[in-house]
Chains A and B, each alone.
Chain A
Amino acid sequence: MSIDKETIQKIAHLARLEFNEEKEAEMVKSMNRILDWMEVLNKVDTENVKPLTHMSAEVNVLRVDEIRPGLSHQEALLNAPKKDSDYFRVPKVLE
């Protein structure tokens, strides 16, 4: 596996991150190194093995569908970097 700068840029966009050129070069190097190291898994025969997707032995944990108090409006807005009396504020989306 070998990934290049373009892949890094694509992945960074998907991850909503950005890197300057120097960091981008570092990321290419260190990700390649780690991905190479991960290649070892190809040696394991996993034919007919089902992926393990859940670690808890509990299945279908359900609860009664009833209204319970959650965070109040005020509490939910407590840590907002930008807000007005009712809403989170973000940069303008529509022109």
Chain B
Amino acid sequence: MKRFNSLTEIRKEILSGNLTCETLVNYYLENINKKKHLNVFLEVYSEEALKEAKLIDAKLKNGTAGKLAGMVIGIKDVISHKGHGLQAASQILNGFEAQFNATVIDRLLREDAIIIGRQNCDEFAMGSSNENSSFGPVLNDADNTCVPGGSSGGSAVAVQADFCLASLGSDTGGSVRQPASFCGVIGLKPTYSRISRWGLVAYASSFDCIGIFTRSIEDNALLLEIIAGADDFDSTVSFKEVEQYSKGFPIPKKLKIGYLKEGIGNGVSASVKEKTLGSIAKLKAQGHDLHEVEIPFLDYILPVYYILTTAEASSNLSRFDGVRYGHRTKEQTDLLGMYKKSRAEGFGEEVKKRIMLGTFVLSASYYDAYYTKAQKVRRLIKDKTDELLAEFDFIIMPSAPTTAFKINQFSKDALAMYLADVFTVQANIAGIPAISIPNGVDSNGMPIGLQIISASFTENKLLSFSDYLLNLN
């Protein structure tokens, strides 16, 4: 079977009688089986997906099918799906079975999407390479010695390797956009609070966003339209009306576009720089108004991010105490010892380090020096970013300074890996939407991504511009 790049293509085939959802699910299952070594899925729901496919085939025949009929989708192992395993790729949640559906899952299922399995990721979504999973690393399908990026590495590779048409991931500091870039697919992080976080395993609640991986902008727009919007179960979710992203937005003849100075600077690899300059040239050739911009406080973005996210993580992850769910130590000990040993045994090294850092920056003597200070700088960064995006329609830059790096390349130096998130983190600090779109490959055939950011709640414009840019050649 040929590879499908959008739901429209699939629906056309179904309509013409050449394809059924059942055949399609079987096709994806075969692909998954052929490339098990990529370590993408923690669990594949083969039987269930096939059963669903038959039901949806029947619905398609009698005209009662939902908007996502024919869409086979994978879910990062941080999103709650009733009756299915959920463990954030951590041993501390070994054997956990979700008791309810995340809002996004309910909305997908209501429109007849087929969920094919849950995907490997960095433990509790903490990482930029998918090497922090307690189930081992995910491999990049373009080069198996390279990482897929992280933390939503499994979700990106699933779309890259044609294991499903789309994936849902989560993005706290770039965890959708950076793997999308490394794997040559589209990855959207919407505005903070655009999508309900109900049922998303919390990492850093003021940063966390559910994000969408697809091969086409139209699928991304359609999925966002369906999963976004007000929700009784998340008091932070935006009540703003959800636009009809799938209808698109007319792109004006002359846009004011900024390109990040550091995005074509010394810290960026030659091939990434070349492709980024290529995009700038293409847009100029179309008559758009392009300006170099500097992001204020760029040096402070990562420290602010790590102080605030570790603080929030230390609080969010305190619920894993071995009492109500998850791993409990086998050692005989008192209550306090049980907490400590269960947590020490269940969490991986990176997660423990972040809990420790977060506990430290929140501790009474250091709270103001680190935590409050970071919250203040966050406001400065957000205000400046909002100001810039009031002036520019879009700002473009590479999604990551390099293409996918080698497995184990940064295993001895976590800080060096943190620096790889320099371009993606700003969007989470400021809460703005951001997308990574494929922007060619380097000389080894490794994918390069271009990131586009825009003002809060302008996803419609952002998606349409992405589509426009992808079609500029």
CB-contact partner of B360 in A3, A19, A79, under 8 A: A3
Contact size class for B?
Answer: 35 or more
Indicate with 1 or 0, residue by residue over B183-209, a CB within 8 angstroms of chain A CB atoms: 000000000110000000000001100
Q: Beyond A8-B356, A11-B363, is A51–B375 a contact (Cβ under 8 Å)?
A: yes
Tell me the count of chain A residues lying within 8 A, CB to CB, of chain B.
49
Query: A63 to chain B: which residues have CB within 8 Å?
Result: 232
Looking across the interface, which residue of chain B has its beta carbon closest to that of A44?
B377
Query: CB of A25 within 8 A of chain B?
Result: no
Query: A17 to chain B: which residues have CB within 8 Å?
Result: 340, 343-344, 347, 352, 355-356
B298 to chain A, nearest CB (A): 11
Looking across the interface, which residue of chain A has its beta carbon closest to that of B414?
A30
| Complex CA–CA separation, A18 to B348 (angstroms) | 12
Query: CB of B144 within 8 A of chain A?
Result: no
Looking across the interface, which residue of chain B has its beta carbon closest to that of A49?
B376
A27, A34, A75 — most chain B CB neighbours (10 Å): A34
Indicate with 1 or 0, residue by residue over A49-84, a CB within 8 angstroms of chain B CB atoms: 111111111100101000000010001101111100
Q: How many A-B contacts are there with CB distance less than 8 Å?
A: 154
Query: CB of A46 within 8 A of chain B?
Result: yes
Query: A91 to chain B: which residues have CB within 8 Å?
Result: 332-335, 337-338
Query: B96 to chain A: which residues have CB within 8 Å?
Result: 79
CB-contact partner of A15 in B238, B314, B337, under 8 A: B314
B95, B297, B324, B363 — most chain A CB neighbours (10 Å): B324
Looking across the interface, which residue of chain B has its beta carbon closest to that of A62?
B235
A61 to chain B, nearest CB (A): 4
Query: CB of B468 within 8 A of chain A?
Result: no
Looking across the interface, which residue of chain B has its beta carbon closest to that of A89?
B323
A79 & B333 in contact (Cβ 8 Å cutoff): no
Query: CB of B382 within 8 A of chain A?
Result: yes
B323 & A88 in contact (Cβ 8 Å cutoff): yes
| Complex CA–CA separation, A11 to B370 (angstroms) | 15
A residues near B (Cβ < 8 Å) are: 3, 7-8, 11-12, 14-19, 27, 30-31, 33-35, 37-38, 40-42, 44, 46, 49-58, 61, 63, 71, 75-76, 78-82, 88, 90-93
23 A–B contacts from the bound complex (CB under 8 Å): A3-B360, A7-B360, A15-B355, A16-B336, A17-B340, A17-B356, A18-B341, A19-B352, A30-B414, A31-B356, A34-B415, A35-B357, A41-B304, A42-B373, A44-B297, A46-B373, A50-B379, A51-B376, A52-B376, A79-B326, A88-B324, A91-B338, A93-B334
Q: Which 6 A-B pairs have the closest CB atoms?
A: A51-B375, A79-B325, A81-B328, A52-B379, A56-B236, A46-B376
Given contacts A3-B360, A17-B355, A55-B207, 13 further A-B contacts (CB under 8 A): A16-B318, A17-B347, A27-B353, A33-B415, A37-B415, A38-B303, A40-B300, A50-B376, A51-B378, A55-B192, A55-B236, A79-B97, A81-B327
